[in-house]
Structure 1
Amino acid sequence: MENRSQWGTRAGFILAAVGSAIGLGNIWRFPYVAYDNGGGAFFLPYLIALFTAGIPILIMEFTMGHKFRGSSPLTFARLNKKSEALGWFQVFVSFGISTYYAVIIGWALAYAWFSFNLSWGSDTQAFLFADYLQVSDPPTQMGSLVPGVLFPLIIVWAVVLSVLFKGIKKGVEAANKVFIPTLVVLFLIIVIRAVTLEGAAEGLNAFFQPNWSQLTDPTVWTAAYTQIFFSLSICFAIMITYSSYLPKKSDITNNAFITGLSNSGFELLAGIGVFSAIGFVAVTTGGGIDDFAGAGVGLAFAVFPQIINEMPFLNGFFGFLFFASLVLAGLSSLISICETYILAFQEKFNITRTKAVAIGGGLSALISLVYATQGGAHFLTAVDRYVLTVGVGLGGLLEVILIAWAIRKVKTLKDHADGLSQIRLGAWWTICLTVITPVLLGYMMILQLKNDFTAPYVDGYPLAVVGPWGMGALALVIVFAVVFSLFKWRGGKETSVNSDKEVSG
């Protein structure tokens, strides 16, 4: 087998995997999803989802990457030559995500700077959309580049590409050894401050108060599985890519449990911090929790600046800490997303890592300029919904069906993981992958496709936006996946592991 990069230490790999899993969604999505789906009661379906879908798929992907020593397309080609297109589908989903994810990190970087003078003023929502993003109307209009978005975006890509150029050990691993501990320290400071604010108890009560009756609602269980699925970076090609750099002797199952539980621990921490702060602003302004509880861009860039405005002292300092946390969480995730297609291009076309980073990362950076325009926020919303939500969900469903039912390799992967790990996989893992996960992912995807391909479309956007920027982007991902799977592997990499003998052995 060819020489390839490896992680320098086990801790380096775990920090990188955790860094990929802990992203913007942990901070601005999980707290509201839990609150909106039963509060404290939501943790029951959440934990069930973690142990029946999240960690089982994580173990599966760690095992695939470790056993077949390749990018997602190469791994799937070695599993079965006919399944290579699925690997490319996941890679191009990640490519699409990277083009706009960098822009959101740029927003956070700009807001970290705004924090020092509370530049967003008293009307934080108007500042976000009108003053900062300069959002176009109508939404179909691209408009001109917005300097306040463009310059932070350039900085983000400069940091990410410089890390990727340095390689796995000196670049990705070294960066995550700095980013993740710093992120945890910064966020702990924020949480400690948040829980000591007036009204924090009201916010935490709203977050943890269980509404057991909601557990009879199927959408609550779907929300739990969706949250686990998207927050662990599974089926993005990321974990297959990262685990392909593991040394031959690696405790795969233990690594997966550490990664999964660390991610969930951070989500719980984020929920405590966010709802303590929401309780504070609700009490201070005389509003209700529902007036401020939300998810996504609005929570991070409109509600939190309002919370920061109301803080009794050191507003700018805590504002900086919050947005710096978003930047660090975003950078570690973006690096992992980019690594998927860098390794795939490197192996498919037998080019150097430097050339793969320049081509893959450079092209993604160039495309991301579209989201730095006045219409960028509209386009971003559509691409995010179809490429991320639909694309990752569909890729995950096809992956599990392929492994569990089409080529029936669950036992092969189980034997490989058991041969290396302290924790042996029993019937629990097999049942989860062959029965529970495919059924639930299938149900999720039916609901998702029904919602996203029938009017009204995403956030009420017209088909003129959703069609080309949402559905069109997803269609391009599918087309590129098929086309790239038809190219021959240069250097004969697809035969460096005999797919039939190696998999069955």
Structure 2
Amino acid sequence: MNTLKKAGNWLAPPANKSEDGRDQWPSRTSFILAAMGGCAGMGNLLRYPSQVYNNHGLQWFVPYLMAVFIIAIPVLVLEIAIGQAYRGGSVIAYNNVNHRLRGLGLGLLFVAFFVGHYFVVNLAWIMDYFRNSFTSPLPWTGRGEEFYYQDVVANVDPIVGSLSEDGSSVLSYTSYPGIGLVGETVGWTAFTWFLVWLCIFKGVGLTGRVVYFTLGLPIVITIILVGRACSLENAGEGVGLVWATWRSSELARGQIWQTACGQVFFSTGVGFGYFTSYASYNQKYSNAVMDSILIVCSNVLFENFAAFAVFGVVGYLRLFPQDGVRLGSFTVGFLTLPLAVTEMPGANFWAFALFFTLMVLGFSSAFAQLDAIVTMWMDSGTKLSRPVVVTILVMISFLLSLPYCTQFGYYLLEGIDRWINDVALIFVVWAECVCSTTVYRWKDVTNQVGLLAFTIYNIGYFGGMIFGVAVAHAVSPPAGAGLGFGLYVAGAVASVTLSQTPTSGAARFWARNTYASRFWYLAFYSGNQLRRDLNLIVGTGKNWTIPSFWPLLMRYISAPILAIIFSFAYPSFYLLRYDPLHILGFTLAHVCLLVIGLGVILPRWFDVFLPPHRLNDGKVDTIPNVNQSAIDAEQKALEEGGDTTGPGKDEPIK
């Protein structure tokens, strides 16, 4: 019995404890690998090549790299830094930013939770292929589409609805005659959820070991697959589609910008909440900024390297892009690559390698998404043990995955996936950018310039985005840009004019003039103060600090770009409003927006997600331009009757 216990503790060791008693990763490497595993999944090997293919040419990298550096890295710095500094998952972390952002923290988990249900069904289809990879000849030889759609997905064709000729009304709604469960898909889905349970039920002590396998082995096999694909006949022409083609006219299409941002969100994992929960198990003073950049850049390198495997096959099969013909991620994973494998010597080995890699890569993303929900539950102060919580959530998740295992599950997946990503995910990331830089310590701002000025400024800021985007769609992009910028300028001028004169000095440059000082408080104070407070924790010693341009980038560049991208979803839905499953997905995505809004209006409704001793974390009184740590130290000293001079109180404003 003791031997079995020792073996169990070796395989599933209890987590280390940090100074505050919170579970801690076995090492910094474990955290980075787990975070990389969460974002390095099927989106890298399947979705990314399909997006590059559909926007073929070097011009793809213009919006793609802009999204990486302007949105993904800054938001990831935020998610990791607040999780690490505030020692909690996304709900606790955003409650510390402001108690009215509890709904935002829950919104991130909403996205992760509902994506996880159909993501696991994708893995179930891959497991079906994996099982058949041991059969010779491969059962999809010469019948790729028939095998995928009839044998694996096994969905009954829908009766497609339609709109009137002018698109103003719905003539008929799409109906789905097939409603039965697909037995093998159900079985593999149950098996996958069991593996998820097995990897996270003991916490980061076990997960920190699992990630060495779930990330390390797929990378090795991916290198082998790339080498094989690039050695195929005519592979060079396929690779040349990306690296030797330039079509600048493509950059004028909104589609390429929308798909680039969507791909970056999907592949890096920002907006899903698991980076914050993973970071909460870090050492408190870890190098969050370096980790964030390392995670995103390694993900970018991996998906661009892995794309060579697909484009080598594209050249081999001569599947060159044609106008109006798009390559979907499912097509890449379940049709293009499997068909190429059948024509290679040793087809069974390459099929095994391909689907094993896809399975393990996707699996690390699946348990990362559920682990974020587990962290929230455990942080709430529940009396249930972690294994019990994980078991309950896995059982609920399996039940919610069953609709995707039906004879209409593929179409349900398309409907939910599109709008969760295009509406809920983009809105959540937009809210992260604007809320963290607008409402953090907002009472400091109103204390210095007055509530009226604060309100007018933000009416101009938010109104400029909302009405500017609306007019851009209704009239023209230049008209929308002019109106949006005009509303912002009008709000800024009016607020500065009506503002009180600050009694606490602004940053060096802005302190030279009364009006400039007022504008600095309204435009920059919240984001800059969040940066300063976080840097006292994540930027200590030799750690990289969050740069001074970070809040400016988040609020005035990332947020407007995301608002524009978000607006594209509504015209797209208008053309698909005859499909009940797209209506369902669109509605579900807006439930996420409702959750965030309720958190702002009625934050007490979310008390259940927080432990009693942390309910007031986001309501602490502050002093303008004084770092939070100094206020906390002074308060503690007052309670103990000691020295009331807190550290950092005299730190200059930057």
**TM-score (ref. length: structure 1):** 0.91
- Give the total of aligned pairs: 493
Q: 2:94 aligns with which of 42, 61, 76?
A: 76
Q: Match of 2:555?
A: 434
* Correspondence 1:260 to 2:292: no
Q: 1:314 aligns with which of 346, 367, 371?
A: 346
Q: Match of 1:344?
A: 376
Which one is further off, 22-31 or 422-431?
422-431
Provide the secondary structure at the position in 2 that maps to 1:129: helix
Task: Decide which structure has greater helix share.
Answer: 1
Which one is further off, 96-105 or 118-127?
118-127
Cα 1:370–1:480 shift into 2, 3 Å: farther
Question: C-alpha distance in 2, partners of 1:129/1:52?
Answer: 39
Q: 1:130 aligns with which of 136, 150, 175?
A: 150
* Correspondence 1:19 to 2:19: no
Question: C-alpha distance in 1, partners of 2:299/2:215?
Answer: 12
Which one is further off, 350-359 or 410-419?
410-419
Q: Which amino acid aligns with 2:150?
A: A
Taking only the aligned residue pairs, the percentage that are identical comes to: 25
Q: Match of 2:539?
A: 418
Q: Match of 2:444?
A: none
* Correspondence 1:214 to 2:249: yes
Deviations 1:269-327 (A, max 9, x none): 12111100111122xxxx6455997231121112221111222x011111111111111
Q: 1:179 aligns with which of 189, 214, 222?
A: 214
Residues 146 and 373 of structure 1 are in contact (CA less than 8 Å); yes or no, is this contact kept in structure 2?
yes
Q: 2:620 aligns with which of 492, 500, 505?
A: 500
Q: Match of 2:581?
A: 465
Residues 87 and 281 of structure 2 are in contact (CA less than 8 Å); yes or no, is this contact kept in structure 1?
yes
Q: In the TM superposition, what is the alpha-carbon distance from 1:263 to its structure 2 partner?
A: 0.3
Which one is further off, 217-226 or 86-95?
217-226
* Correspondence 1:7 to 2:25: yes
Q: Match of 2:179?
A: 143
Q: Which amino acid aligns with 1:145?
A: L
Q: 1:302 aligns with which of 318, 331, 335?
A: 335
Q: In the TM superposition, what is the alpha-carbon distance from 1:449 to its structure 2 partner?
A: 2.9
Question: C-alpha distance in 1, partners of 2:604/2:588?
Answer: 18
Q: 2:277 aligns with which of 241, 265, 278?
A: 241
Q: In the TM superposition, what is the alpha-carbon distance from 1:215 to its structure 2 partner?
A: 5.8
Deviations 1:321-365 (A, max 9, x none): 111111111111011100111111222352432232122222011
Cα 1:133–1:65 shift into 2, 3 Å: same
Which one is further off, 60-69 or 478-487?
478-487
Question: C-alpha distance in 2, partners of 1:492/1:133?
Answer: 47
Q: Which amino acid aligns with 1:43?
A: F
Question: C-alpha distance in 2, partners of 1:89/1:60?
Answer: 16
Which one is further off, 386-395 or 401-410?
401-410
Of the two, which has the highest radius of gyration?
A: 2
Question: C-alpha distance in 1, partners of 2:606/2:262?
Answer: 34
Gaps of 5+ in 1: none
Q: Which amino acid aligns with 2:299?
A: N
> 1:6-405 residue pairs with structure 2 within 5 A?
6-117=24-135, 118-138=138-158, 140-141=176-177, 143-170=179-206, 172-214=207-249, 216-219=251-254, 220-282=256-318, 288-290=320-322, 294-311=327-344, 313-348=345-380, 350=382, 351-405=384-438
Question: C-alpha distance in 1, partners of 2:252/2:375?
Answer: 42
Segments of 4+ moved more than 6 angstroms:
none
Residues 203 and 289 of structure 1 are in contact (CA less than 8 Å); yes or no, is this contact kept in structure 2?
no
Question: C-alpha distance in 2, partners of 1:276/1:12?
Answer: 33
Question: C-alpha distance in 2, partners of 1:375/1:381?
Answer: 10
Residues 308 and 318 of structure 1 are in contact (CA less than 8 Å); yes or no, is this contact kept in structure 2?
yes
Question: C-alpha distance in 2, partners of 1:413/1:497?
Answer: 15
Q: 1:474 aligns with which of 589, 597, 612?
A: 589
RMSD of aligned Cα (Å):
2.4
Provide the secondary structure at the position in 2 that maps to 1:488: helix
Q: In the TM superposition, what is the alpha-carbon distance from 1:501 to its structure 2 partner?
A: 5.3
Deviations 1:30-51 (A, max 9, x none): 1232233352232233223211
Question: C-alpha distance in 2, partners of 1:50/1:392?
Answer: 16
Which one is further off, 261-270 or 33-42?
33-42
Question: C-alpha distance in 1, partners of 2:106/2:604?
Answer: 7
Cα 1:289–1:216 shift into 2, 3 Å: closer
Cα 1:129–1:396 shift into 2, 3 Å: same
Question: C-alpha distance in 2, partners of 1:337/1:119?
Answer: 33
Cα 1:135–1:440 shift into 2, 3 Å: same
Question: C-alpha distance in 1, partners of 2:247/2:404?
Answer: 41
Question: C-alpha distance in 1, partners of 2:348/2:125?
Answer: 17
Question: C-alpha distance in 2, partners of 1:94/1:418?
Answer: 29
Q: In the TM superposition, what is the alpha-carbon distance from 1:15 to its structure 2 partner?
A: 0.3
Q: In the TM superposition, what is the alpha-carbon distance from 1:202 to its structure 2 partner?
A: 0.9
Question: C-alpha distance in 1, partners of 2:96/2:322?
Answer: 50
**TM-score (ref. length: structure 2):** 0.71
Deviations 1:444-472 (A, max 9, x none): 101123323x1235xxxx4322223x123
Residues 34 and 211 of structure 2 are in contact (CA less than 8 Å); yes or no, is this contact kept in structure 1?
yes
Question: C-alpha distance in 2, partners of 1:58/1:302?
Answer: 34
Q: Match of 1:450?
A: 571
Q: In the TM superposition, what is the alpha-carbon distance from 1:84 to its structure 2 partner?
A: 0.5
Q: In the TM superposition, what is the alpha-carbon distance from 1:421 to its structure 2 partner?
A: 5.7
Residues 13 and 246 of structure 1 are in contact (CA less than 8 Å); yes or no, is this contact kept in structure 2?
yes
Q: In the TM superposition, what is the alpha-carbon distance from 1:250 to its structure 2 partner?
A: 0.4
Cα 1:477–1:425 shift into 2, 3 Å: closer
Provide the secondary structure at the position in 1 that maps to 2:22: coil
Q: Which amino acid aligns with 1:438?
A: A
Q: In the TM superposition, what is the alpha-carbon distance from 1:376 to its structure 2 partner?
A: 1.0
Question: C-alpha distance in 1, partners of 2:620/2:117?
Answer: 36
Residues 528 and 548 of structure 2 are in contact (CA less than 8 Å); yes or no, is this contact kept in structure 1?
no
Q: In the TM superposition, what is the alpha-carbon distance from 1:132 to its structure 2 partner?
A: 1.9
- Which protein, 1 or 2, shows the higher relative CO under an 8 Å CA cutoff with sep ≥ 6? 1
Deviations 1:108-145 (A, max 9, x none): 11111212221223121121111222102335345222
